[in-house]
């Protein structure tokens, strides 16, 4: 019997093939998947977030999906608590937990066991709140803070600035039970995968999903702004053409992919491998696990 089943973390940029390889590995190594995607947590946002399909979720047990409604608050600290409970539960049932996703802060909150303080520096927040969006963006650039996906949203900007201290104060030592794998993929191939996915995504199901969300929620919500839905809604409203919307979607995903890679490359513990070498590498690591 394995003394301590490892936590296998698989990271990489959007459209790099994380879902497919994670399902394959979880099936082979008797595992279950915990999604670390800050967009997959929202109910009703399926196609637009490239959430694992119903069929894919039937292939292997997935967690971390459809946790809250788009108008409900869900923090990184909430995710950390949720994911750690699932890791313990999966291990208790003799299975290997796979933490899979592209949301860097979600991933690192688990790998580095972040300590999220409950207290907010109200004075600092008040100072930030007085700044314009452009001033907040300049602040981020000055202090080497990655801009959020929605860098035109003031609350997003303030939050990412506040989180900078959380990352700085907690990013010390990675947990010793983790096997962390990053997916390498060349620039042209990734761009092509992003383009192909966007083309496939733009269909009646996405349009109907967008209409349903707009009928229930406001674009003032961070969950609604940080996804593809504003672009699709502009198209459905006749503001832009289908080709314009497709191009904007591809550009957004490419920018996201670059931000994700920048984030993950700060972690020296990640073993970067192409998709076709990951299974062999993980097999060698798991075979060396100590036994009782």
**pLDDT score of 262 more than 90:** yes
Pick 156 or 212 by higher pLDDT.
Answer: 212
Same domain, 64 and 137: no
Which range of residues forms the domain containing residue 128? 119-170
In a domain, 95, yes or no: yes
- Does some domain include residue 1? no
Residue 57 lies in a domain: yes
Kindly state whether residues 18 and 68 are assigned to the same domain: yes
Tell whether 197 and 254 lie within a shared domain: yes
Q: Is 166 a member of any domain?
A: yes
Same domain, 98 and 241: yes
| Confidence category of residue 140, pLDDT binned at 50, 70, 90 | confident
Are residue 202 and residue 249 in the same domain, yes or no?
yes
Cα dihedral angle (51, 53, 56, 62), rounded to 10 degrees? 50
CA dihedral 53→57→63→65, nearest 10 degrees, is: 20
Same domain, 186 and 214: yes
Of the three residues 170, 186, 204, the one that is the final residue of a domain is 170
Instruction: Convert the pLDDT of each residue in 148-201 to its tens digit.
Output: 766 778 877 887 887 776 665 567 789 999 999 999 999 999 999 999 999 999
Count CB atoms within 10 A of the CB of residue 188. Answer: 8
Tell me: do 185 and 131 sit in the same domain.
Answer: no
Token reading at 226: 């940080």
d(CA 174, CA 171): 8
In this structure, the answer to whether residues 230 and 166 fall within a common structural domain is no
241 is a domain residue = yes
Number of independent structural domains in the chain: 2
In-domain check, residue 240:
yes
Are 177 and 64 in a shared domain? yes
- Which of 7-16, 113-122, 179-188 bottoms out in mean pLDDT, i.e. has the lowest? 113-122
- Regarding whether 178 and 159 lie in a shared domain, the answer is no
Quick: pLDDT tens for 170-182: 677 899 999 999 9
| Strand arrangement of the beta sheet that strand 7-11 belongs to | 62-63, 31-35, 96-101, 7-11, 178-183, 271-273
Q: Identify whether 292 is part of a domain.
A: no
Task: Tell me the CATH number at 32.
Answer: 3.40.50.300
**Same domain, yes or no: 184 and 54:** yes
165 and 195 co-located in one domain: no
Per-residue pLDDT at 184: 98
Of 27, 1, 54, the residue nearest 205 (C-alpha): 54
Asked if 14 and 50 count as a contact pair (C-beta separation under 8 A), the reply is yes
Of residues 163 and 142, more confidence is placed in: 142
For the entire predicted model, the pTM comes to 0.84
In a domain, 163, yes or no: yes
Strands 178-183 and 271-273, by their bridges, are parallel
Helix axes 133-142, 154-170, angle to 10 degrees: 20
Output the DSSP codes for the chain: -BSSPPEEEEE--TTSSHHHHHHHHHHHTTEEEEE--TTTTBTT--TTTTPPPHHHHHHS-EESSS-B-TTS---HHHHHHHHHHHHHHHHHTT-EEEEEES-HHHHHHHHTT----S---HHHHHHHHTS-HHHHHHHHHHTTPPPPSSTT-HHHHHHHHHHHHHHHHH-S---TTEEEEEE---HHHHHHHHHHHHHHH-SHHHHHHHHHHHHH--TTSHHHHTSSHHHHHHHHTTSS-HHHHHHHHHHHHHHHHHHHHHHHTT-TT-EEE-HHHHHHHHHHHHHTS-B-
Tens digit of pLDDT for each residue in 213-245?
999 999 989 899 878 999 999 999 999 999 999
Nearest-CA neighbor of 145 among 128, 130, 120?
A: 128
């Amino acid at each position: 019997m394995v003394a301590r089943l490892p936590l296998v973390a698989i990271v990489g940029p959007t459209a790099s093939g994380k879902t497919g390889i994670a399902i394959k590995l979880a099936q082979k190594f008797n595992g279950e998947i915990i999604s670390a995607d800050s967009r997959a947590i929202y109910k009703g946002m399926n196609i637009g977030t490239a959430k694992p399909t119903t069929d894919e979720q039937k292939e292997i047990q997935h967690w971390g999906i459809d946790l809250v409604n788009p108008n409900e608050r869900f923090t990184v600290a909430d995710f950390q608590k949720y994911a750690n409970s699932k890791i313990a539960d999966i291990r208790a049932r003799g299975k290997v937990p796979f933490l899979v996703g592209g949301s860097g802060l979600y991933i690192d909150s688990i790998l580095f066991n972040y300590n999220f303080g409950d207290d907010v520096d109200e004075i600092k927040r008040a100072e930030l709140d007085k700044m314009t969006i452009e001033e907040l963006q300049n602040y981020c650039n000055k202090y080497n803070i990655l801009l959020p996906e929605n860098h035109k949203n003031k609350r997003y900007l303030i939050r990412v600035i506040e989180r900078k201290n959380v990352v700085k104060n907690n990013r010390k030592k990675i947990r010793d039970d983790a096997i962390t794998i990053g997916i390498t993929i060349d620039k042209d191939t990734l761009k092509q995968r992003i383009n192909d996915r966007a083309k496939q995504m733009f269909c009646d199901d996405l349009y109907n999903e967008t209409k349903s969300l707009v009928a229930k929620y406001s674009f003032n919500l961070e969950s609604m702004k940080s996804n593809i839905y504003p672009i699709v809604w502009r198209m459905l409203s006749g503001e832009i053409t289908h080709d314009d919307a497709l191009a904007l979607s591809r550009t957004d995903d490419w920018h996201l992919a670059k931000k994700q890679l920048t984030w993950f490359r700060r972690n020296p513990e990640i073993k970067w491998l192409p998709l076709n070498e990951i299974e062999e590498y993980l097999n060698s690591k798991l075979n060396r696990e100590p036994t009782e």
